[in-house]
Structure 1
Amino acid sequence: MPRTIPLIIVAAVAILLAAGGVAWTILSSQPDGPRSTKTDGPQIGGPFDLETTGGERVSEADLKGKPFAIFFGFTHCPDVCPTTLNEMAGWIDALGEQADDMRFAFVTVDPARDDAETMTYYVEAFSDRIIPLTGTEAEIDSMANTYKIYKEKVPLDDGEDYTMNHTAAVYLMDAEGEFVDVISFKDEQDQALRKLRALVEG
């Protein structure tokens, strides 16, 4: 079963919801992500150069060599993102030694608020095995484009704050950085683990 969401994240979510009385949603009409495995369709994935803990730069070359799973979200997300990161931490635990044969990353779609320090603090509340990645608006836009990620900045009713609508899926890439499959937000843990094991085992 997935691990319990860290109390610090639960508290933060409660404060955000109570303060604004705002119901956040990730547009239900938006697809979770690409639905098929390798096809002749549009290429998903490609070069990127982002920042992680301590200002270290990470590119697609640093993730290649092992299959990897990437999720796009943001630290002010009150629902989908903490749930998915909590599930990802649970997948890592459930995979056991197989988790050593792949990589996991969380890329912000809100770089204006999510600097490297914020991302590191947030992601480590779930797992130190998940690589936090951020960058400039241009760098994030470029990666969102190459990974075919939907993202949209949405002003809140108070006129002073905003949220982000975005694709709610974990992208699974092989050791060469080629798109293989997605784990949908609707997938149960056993479905997710089957996809992850298939990815690791090739």
Structure 2
Amino acid sequence: MQSRHVYFYLFIVVLIIIIGLGLHGFLSDKNRYQDNQVITIKKTTTSGTPSIGGSFQLINHNGDVVSDKSYTGQYLIVFFGYTFCPDVCPNTLAKFSTVMDQLGEYSSRVTPLFITVDPVRDTFQVMNDYISNFHPRIEGLTGNEKQIEYIKKIYRVYGAKSKDNNGNLDDYIVDHSSLSYFMGTGGEYIDFFNYNMKPSRIVSKIKKIIGTKK
């Protein structure tokens, strides 16, 4: 009888361990993507700064060809997303609209760039209509698939159709990075803002950075 109790308790202990391992695996999968973003940020050049950004050529939401040189002298907030995004993108752009309003005299030195990860649907006309809902200094950038893949690579961001789209060719979700990058006036990486960072905190960081470089 006693041995049965021992086996029963051993069974319970093993079951708890299995459930615990399963939960750990689930949480690890859930957070892996955000963790990978942070790991990517930590990759550095030989000078000690993260290897993020570089030369590019795209089309802005007005249909004009632009490149990294078009923004020389401006600080950039670079965010990747797409116009059909249900939550992260509109929330982030609304946040950066608030940031631009709160930057005051510093706002003229900052240009937020919203770069699509869905160039097939996000033509410059679509981007133009979408961007009009946010702060006027925010620019939307698009291009062909090769150009977008390249800029995703140099900014070390992820963007791909979700596996949960059920084969729908026109109405689909795109999984993508939610971090935003703050780039210097020469295109150099300075800092990053995570999705949950409050506008006031972003404003404070930007003012401090620009203030020290006057």
TM-score by length of 2: 0.76
Task: Establish whether residue 30 from structure 1 lines up as the match of residue 33 from structure 2.
Answer: yes
Partners of 2:117 and 2:195 in 1: how far apart?
17
Report the 3-state secondary structure (helix = DSSP H, G, I; strand = E; otherwise coil) of the residue aligned with 2:33: coil
Q: 1:74 to 1:28 in 2, by over 3 A?
A: farther
Alignment check: 8 A CA contact 2:96 2:199 kept? no
Superposed, which structure 2 residues align to 1:1-202 within 5 Å? 28-31=31-34, 32-33=37-38, 34=41, 40=48, 42-160=50-168, 161-201=171-211, 202=213
Report the 3-state secondary structure (helix = DSSP H, G, I; strand = E; otherwise coil) of the residue aligned with 2:108: helix
Alignment check: 8 A CA contact 2:99 2:203 kept? yes
Cα offset, 1:162, TM superposition: 2.0
Number of residues paired by the alignment?
A: 176
Cα offset, 1:35, TM superposition: 5.9
Give the root-mean-square deviation of aligned CA atoms: 2.0
Partners of 1:70 and 1:177 in 2: how far apart?
11
Cα offset, 1:58, TM superposition: 0.9
TM-score by length of 1: 0.80
Relative to its length, the structure with more helix (as a share) is 2
Of all paired residues, the percent bearing the same amino acid is 32
Alignment check: 8 A CA contact 1:74 1:110 kept? yes
The match for 2:5 is none
Alignment check: 8 A CA contact 2:100 2:107 kept? yes
Q: 1:40 to 1:130 in 2, by over 3 A?
A: same
- Residues 3-44 of structure 1: per-residue CA shift (max 9 Å, x gap): xxxxxxxxxxxxxxxxxxxxxxxx643125526999626511
Q: Report 1 or 2 for greater relative contact order, CA contacts < 8 Å, sequence distance ≥ 6.
A: 1
Partners of 1:157 and 1:100 in 2: how far apart?
40
Larger Rg: 2
Amino acid at match of 1:198: K
Partners of 1:41 and 1:193 in 2: how far apart?
22
| Stretches (4+) displaced over 3 A | 35-39, 155-158
Partners of 1:35 and 1:183 in 2: how far apart?
14
Flag structure 2 segments of 5+ consecutive residues without an equivalent: 1-29
- Residues 89-138 of structure 1: per-residue CA shift (max 9 Å, x gap): 00000001210012111000000100001011101101221011000000
Flag structure 1 segments of 5+ consecutive residues without an equivalent: 1-26
